Structure 1
Amino acid sequence: MPGTVGRVPTPPTAPGPSPVSQVTAAMLGHPWADTVLGPSQQWDPAVRALVDVVLSSPVPMALYYGDQFVMLYNQGYSELIGDRHPDAIGQPAPEVFADLWHTPGVGDVIERVYRRGESFLQRESVLPIDRHLAVTGDHAVFTRGHSPARDSAGRIIGVLTVAAQTTQFTQQLQSLSDFAAALSGTLTLDDVARVTLRYMLHSFDADRVVLAVDDGPAWRMVRRLRGELLDEADERLPPLWRPTGADSPAPAVRTARSGVPYFVGDGQPLRDNAVDRHDQKIRALAALPLRSSVIRGGLSVSYQAPHGWSAAERALLAASAELVGQAAERARRFETQHGTAQLLQRSMLPEQLPTLPRLRVAARYDPGVDGNAAGGDFYDAFLLPTGELGVVLGDVAGHDVQAAARMGQVRAALRALALADPRPDAVLAGLDRLVASLGTETGTQELFVTVAFGVVDSGRGQITLASAGHPPPLIRRCAPDGSATAEYVELPAGAPLGLGCRPRTTTVAFLPGDTLLLYSDGVVERRRQSLTAGLDGLAVAVAGAASGDPRALCAVATGAVSGATEDDVAVLAVEYALRPSRSASMEMPAEPTAPSRVRHWMTAKLTDWQVPEAVIGAAVLCTSELTTNALLHAGTAARVVIDLSAERLLVSVADSGTRGAVTRTQTDTLSSRGRGLGLIEQLSDAWGTDPTVRGSTVWFEILLPPQ
């Protein structure tokens, strides 16, 4: 197999840079612009992250990129391929290993993983290495794991290989290859925590795994226990981090502070800081620091029985901690940039949408794949002097601060124009002149803006719409028998703003039970898929939604078309309710007794509203789980809102997203978190999470039985 054949080089005797720095420098200094990888500064973020993992790993690793399998590898691999290094850097593997590529178990394995996208483990492969054969009289034995490498859009771009000269821990080595590939796709510390806890628990067959990272002067930790019931529902919420003090005795924090790993084979390593019965049973523990320049952290793995930490297992743990440290460092940098960009983005969007007796409005915005930059998608809804409702959704091309600033200008100008003259064609004509003026002022012809604007007249039961190059609006219509259809409004799209747009209006019926959906092109456009397929997929998903509730439809719309999108996604929905809904809210303080108070308040309110008893029980149980999650995760006060219509009960819990210090009465409630979220999945008809300007909102919907 490539990367495991050749003479092991003799260690250098002359003073100079270490072999690791030599190999890394050779890799970074290679003229990649002359290869299919292209200039390093233009590499896809996921590819760049994967290269960082390869070069920083103490375990022999190599990346075979593209159809030519161009080679990029680390110090460990350079030793395995012997005198084929350094000429192998940036060269196609079939040429570097021309004498071996067509041998069974060599090139065919790499090609199969690349073509099929399936991981492959080669256990105890015997291959001749000259030096090993001369010294021992036998061939070297290798275990090699191969995994498909993917870019930010999920496309397979190569093969990642991990190799080691050992006959032990074969499954861990295969998992390590998959682990490195999974970490390369993480963006946030929450993502890193999910992947790390899942891998460490299963690969090492551990009873308890803890990840700790610095949080200002203090720390925060997240753990996973063997047998803990966690499902897909749990993965849709952020991991449950526990805040802890700066001088915490927790092993993961101690090793993070000292930078020194330590191992306990048999004892009571958590005797002084056990938080529950699970910690009290631990007898063996390994704790390793995360090596990073921008984040401090630690990783611990523990067992309830004595456990001998062999040299090979310690090396595997060290390699895993090294990968986690690199991923955590990237995540911390990303979150810093992402937080600034998203705060700018969301601060230019309305914090609250109008609340009307018969018109219910909801919106959702999700950043694209990168998420590092502010985008130009925007939405708005506002009351007009005539008493009608103006709704708009637009897209300013670009993913930078300038695009966000232009988006703010366009949104503000549109509202001002609509308040003066709400006719959609007049509003868009005025915006066209503004955008043209901005383009002239900045001296650019690349200002590309699309907008759909409508006026909802519930008194007349109609909507008047106009579009400037935007995707067609979609209306979900509800029949008397409860069935639903979805139809696109036949609306002349016209030219984008700034190009002499001459918009025309279309007026369609908008009756009780109908829901209007405006969306950006990121909802329906996918690479290697026609726009028609995306539009059809959106219509089918909206028609098949459990209800026409706008919040639920926004969630349905953002996930209607399969595949990753590199664009931002914005959705705005307006429902014309059959009857006015009743709503109530409660401010929940950041106190341990708050969830209990919410349960009593909600039970009394829904009973007074004569909601069926079965619905009350399910709703209170789900709300209790969400309020507990908001209290433990966000650590701040939260706002609980219940909204009851003739068709459904909608409950939302909004927090401000900061991680404060919260006094908990029972830490054992954390172990049931997965089961609680599983109940939400089972008891509600729809649920999801919506980011807001200053935090996040988790909501669920329960349909009511017909009267």
Structure 2
Amino acid sequence: MRTEDVLAAIATGLWRWDNASGTVTLDGEAARLLGLPAEPAVLPEVAVRSRFHPVDWNEINGIVNLAVAEGTLAEARLRIMDEDGRVLRTVRSRSKPVENRTPEGRTDYELIGTIQEIAEPQPGTTAAHTPITGDWRRSREAFLLDAGRALAEARSTAEVLRVAASLSMPGFNPDGLAVFGMAGDRLSVIGHHGHGAGDEGPFADMRTDTDYPAAEVVRTGRAIYLPTPEDYKRRFPATWPLAQRFGRVSWAFLPLIVAGRTMGAWMAAFKHPVSFSPDERSVLTTVARMLAQALQRAGVAESERELTTGLQRSMMPQLGPEIPGMRIAARYVPTGGGLQVGGDWYDMIPLPSGRFALVIGDVQGHDVRAAGLMGQLRIAVRAYASEGHRPDAVLSRASRFLAGLCSSQESDGRGGAASYGDPAPYGDPGGYGDPGGDPDSLSPRFATCLYVECDPRTGLLEVARAGHPDPAIRMTDGTVLMRPTAGGLPLGIVPDTDYPTTRFTLEPGETMMLCTDGLIETGGHDLDTGWARLRAILEADPPGPPAADGHLDGGHLERLADLLVQAVHGPSSHHTTGPLADRREDDIAVVLLCREGGNCGCGSTAPHAVRPARRTMLTVAQAEPERIAGARRQVRELLHDWADGEQVDSAVLMVSEMVTNVLVHTDGDALLVAEAVGELGARRLRVEVADTSDELPHKRQPGEMASSGRGVLLMEMLADTWGVDPRGEGKSIWFELHEQSKPDPDPLD
């Protein structure tokens, strides 16, 4: 009797599916089971495929690929449809896939096997209502979606292993899991679940040629399924005694493969028998692939974090020993994307003169190259400062250094030309042709920088600024002013650029804040709204009460640094390099300098009989008429709590007129000094504007259409007192206002 006749007697047909030629060869019984005439035939695959339920057909490719990868049979249940879309019968296909590689490099398959009818759905039911494995498939899809989401969100190897241990597979949940990792020719357990402490000992370190399922999986890249203890004992007799003591009855060992490279193995062990059907193997294989991808991502992330920590530790300096009479606090917070180190930096540099320098800067970009340029530029600035150069000379040399560095890279063929716009007053790095943080972009770059040389004995500060945001000063009474300083272009744009120096004194009890624009503009803020947000924090954080020894809270400056960062991103680490959990738009660097005394909360103090003076100073150069607006803002911020708003408007108007007159009628610069003294409600404001001209102002009678000549008239009308004081070179015009507390409104009005 022929084999075909025997198979036909038990309702089993033979078929051969050739993917290369696109044909399917059927014997008579196979043709009958597919709803075709019961005779041998060679048909195009589209004619056979039309007989399968669409849902079942969509799973065939996955089952075949799985069988090829594991070297096993491809087994599937298929619903056979008639021309009206009704289910005729359900058959089980068991085929051996044979992989054939064409001369063109394409991989084709040839399936050789059997199909046999099984009794599941009743003939006459529609495809839409066929209950075959529907619930299991839905639960499997839901499980895989949940597992994929959970593994994708895991950020470390430990989190990935915790997620893997918590997976509850539909219908065949394993009670023991283990993940094996490779290092050279050694295999070790990197995580496990469902075992006691020390159970991993025999498997903790083994060679890949060991007679153990995980080792064979790593060697071959093929999964191993052991449905029964007898299968385990027969295939791996040497290591069976080690596995026997755990009381499991079924095991699955699957390779962890990423980009074609086997990085380890995953074991799922069961205390109940599992036959490892194609559906179950498909689920296990999918989980293994997701687990491998998650472990790969976690490993890369951990390597990046380790590299980040090393870069931050080497690039971010320690603030060094304490400076008599000064307190310093600093924070660096990297952007949340990619490598957690960018182009922002700060530094404190001891100088040969006994002074020290504070530097803060921002190299364009948020990538590895920005971090590299930042490190080189920081070293260059430190070297120039240590040689004893003045602040303007340090920045001029640093600008030439950065321009030369970028031009040398461009000449090596690694970058192209860049175009730059006009310099903004505060040097926003985003405004000069920023390539958008592309790590592959090697176009020339620039950097903003603020360099402050400080004399700790007198509090004298000499500031040179290269396109960077101005410093902010918190006075002893909590008033916060943005301190305008002269500045030049960002470093690296024009090699030979001059950087004028601004001098002012940090009074006892005052705090200076230096920061990069990431602290100001993050969260959709611009310079104005960002400064307003920071000013509110600085003004709202009073120092702690004096201790028993008369000293104020020594940690106030550290707390204030944390508050400034938290206002942008939420709680951070107390370490200057501590990363935050949420994603950030830009790097942040902030430095706080407090001169002890007064009421800053960072050192000793003595009680004051009189409220300390509130004072500001500003130079408006002939070439910078736009700084008149800064002078008006300075006066308004100085008088933020003045009782009479009309007096504030008068003071701002007179200052604007006085400074404008200097720029229009003289050839020199205007020096503005404003000071408010006294108790709240009874203060005196004195404003002086000095210049180098000997010509004294005189009263005029301007016509209705005149554009000048009203300065003296305004001061006569608005000031309580005013005058002109000749000096050795030039003169000083001044006015005074006496605060007038408005009476409370009558509640009966």
Larger RCO of the pair (alpha carbons < 8 Å, separation 6+): 1
Give the structure-1-normalised TM-score.
Answer: 0.45
Q: Under a length normalisation based on structure 2, what TM-score does the superposition of the two structures give?
A: 0.43
Greater C-alpha Rg: 2
